[in-house]
């Protein structure tokens, strides 16, 4: 009897360990890799029921030249990725926002502009989810292409 219980415990432990290490990589969409280069980056990675989404830029940043419109563009593009994974913005549990220097704002990050875009998607009547969020001001590597903001998220599949 004790042997069987020990064997069962080992089987359960091995199964849990194996399942917690199952990952699935989601390739970059054209909106995030317009040159179609072979990059060693995934758009997102599933680890169990959690989706980790890489830093996202506004695919229309050439025409969206302010932080508010870029924030809206990014979140709309992230929504497409989430929908392809059968998730919504309601599944977002964590968001990190990286604000770059905005020449129109004295080369400082435009927090108010980012919030104007953010408020259209989170904490609304239609989408009441309020994920945890961190916002930092950084030097964006994509600033040369007009990027003013970059966002990454973590979303969780409901149980």
pLDDT 10s digits, 21-80: 699 999 999 999 988 899 999 999 999 999 999 999 999 999 999 999 999 999 999 999
Q: Say how many Å lie between the first and final Cα of the chain, rounded.
A: 34
Look at residue 10 in the predicted model and tell me its pLDDT.
Answer: 46
Q: Which of 115-122's residues contact partners 24+ apart within 8 Å by CB, and which partners?
A: 116/68, 116/71, 117/67, 117/68, 117/69, 117/70, 117/71, 117/72, 117/75, 118/71, 118/75, 120/72, 120/75, 121/72, 121/75, 121/89, 122/89, 122/92
Look at residue 21 in the predicted model and tell me its pLDDT.
Answer: 64
Residue 8 pLDDT greater than 90, yes or no:
no
Average pLDDT across the chain, whole number: 90
Q: What is the pTM of this model?
A: 0.85
Residue 11 pLDDT greater than 50, yes or no:
no
Q: Measured between alpha carbons, how far is 151 from 11 in angstroms, rounded to an integer? A: 40
Q: Hey, what domains does the chain have and what are their CATH numbers?
A: 22-31+41-156 (3.30.1330.40)
Look at residue 2 in the predicted model and tell me its pLDDT.
Answer: 59
Strands laid side by side in the 132-137 sheet: 23-26, 44-47, 50-56, 149-156, 92-99, 132-137
- Among residues 99, 6, 27, 90, the alpha carbon closest in space to that of 58 is found at 99
Look at residue 112 in the predicted model and tell me its pLDDT.
Answer: 98
Percent of the chain with pLDDT over 70: 87
50-139-61 Cα angle (round to 5): 75
Condensed to tens digits (0 to 9), the pLDDT of residues 131-140 reads 999 999 999 9
Q: Which two tokens stand for residue 92?
A: 């977002």
Look at residue 20 in the predicted model and tell me its pLDDT.
Answer: 56
- Among residues 33, 41, 43, 37, the alpha carbon closest in space to that of 145 is found at 33
Look at residue 159 in the predicted model and tell me its pLDDT.
Answer: 85
pLDDT average, residue stretch 75-101 = 98
pLDDT average, residue stretch 94-110 = 96
């Amino acid at each position: 009897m004790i042997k069987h219980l020990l064997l069962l415990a080992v089987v359960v432990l091995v199964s849990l360990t194996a399942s917690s290490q199952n990952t699935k990589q989601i390739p970059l969409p054209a909106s995030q890799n317009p040159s179609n280069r072979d990059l060693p980056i995934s758009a997102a990675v599933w680890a169990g029921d959690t989706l980790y989404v890489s830093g996202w830029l506004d695919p229309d940043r050439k025409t969206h030249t302010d932080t508010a419109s870029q924030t809206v563009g990014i979140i709309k593009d992230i929504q497409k990725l989430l929908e392809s994974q059968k998730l919504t913005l309601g599944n977002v549990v964590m968001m990190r926002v990286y604000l770059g220097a905005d020449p129109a704002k004295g080369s400082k990050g435009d927090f108010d502009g980012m919030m104007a875009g953010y408020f259209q998607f989170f904490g609304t009547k239609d989408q009441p989810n309020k994920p945890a969020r961190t916002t930092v001001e950084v030097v964006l590597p994509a600033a040369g292409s007009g990027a003013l903001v970059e966002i990454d998220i973590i979303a969780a599949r409901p149980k």
